[in-house]
Amino acid sequence: MKRRHMTILEKFAILEKIESNFESKYASSIWDPHLLFFYNSVESIQNRAARFIVCNCSRTYSVSSINTHLHLPDLSVRRKIARLCLFYKIYFTNPDIKCDLFALPSYVSSRIDHKFKVEVPSCRTKLYFNSFVPKTPSEWSHLPALIASIPAPSLFRTAISNSS
């Protein structure tokens, strides 16, 4: 009987991990808090979810060890991956949106840049600089050419995840 209970918990943990990744994948692409207060709020939600997955609500048990055990990456890494994957989809599949949001760079160095580089818009406020449009092109333009030129979104996500 106990083995069946563990199997259900294991399945639930996998389901919870998939569900939280699915929901945060799209929301985190656009809303990426740069203020520490908001970042800590989102981080505390992940910590509570991790405790819930392993059925350990003890405050003395380390959440870092739970996240390591569950192979949950840090939220900032997950948000960066989500932003870059969304940018990849816009860049290669939506030319209309790409033209509206991102401009061609004024200069592309053949030595340090890749051919998919885009212009980073100028920003007057820190709030705008930390939003999706200026922040992601900067990260995209600093990717290695081998990663930026990957032909499939799933392979791109894997390459970004392995390089982060």
Name the band, by pLDDT with cuts 50, 70 and 90, for residue 158: very high
CB neighbour class for 44 (10 Å; exposed up to 12, middle 13-18, buried from 19) = exposed
Q: What are the φ and ψ backbone dihedral angles of 38, each rounded to 5 degrees?
A: -70, -40
147 against 68, higher pLDDT: 147
CB neighbour class for 140 (10 Å; exposed up to 12, middle 13-18, buried from 19) = buried
What dihedral do alpha carbons 126, 31, 78, 15 form, nearest 10°?
A: 170
Helix segments in the chain, DSSP class H: 2-30, 36-53, 63-70, 75-93, 95-101, 126-129, 132-141, 145-148, 153-163
pLDDT score, position 152: 92
Residue 61 has pLDDT above 70, yes or no: yes
Dump pLDDT digits (tens) for 1-34: 444 445 555 655 665 665 555 555 556 566 666 7
Q: CB of 28 within 8 A of CB of 78?
A: yes
Residue 119 has pLDDT above 60, yes or no: yes
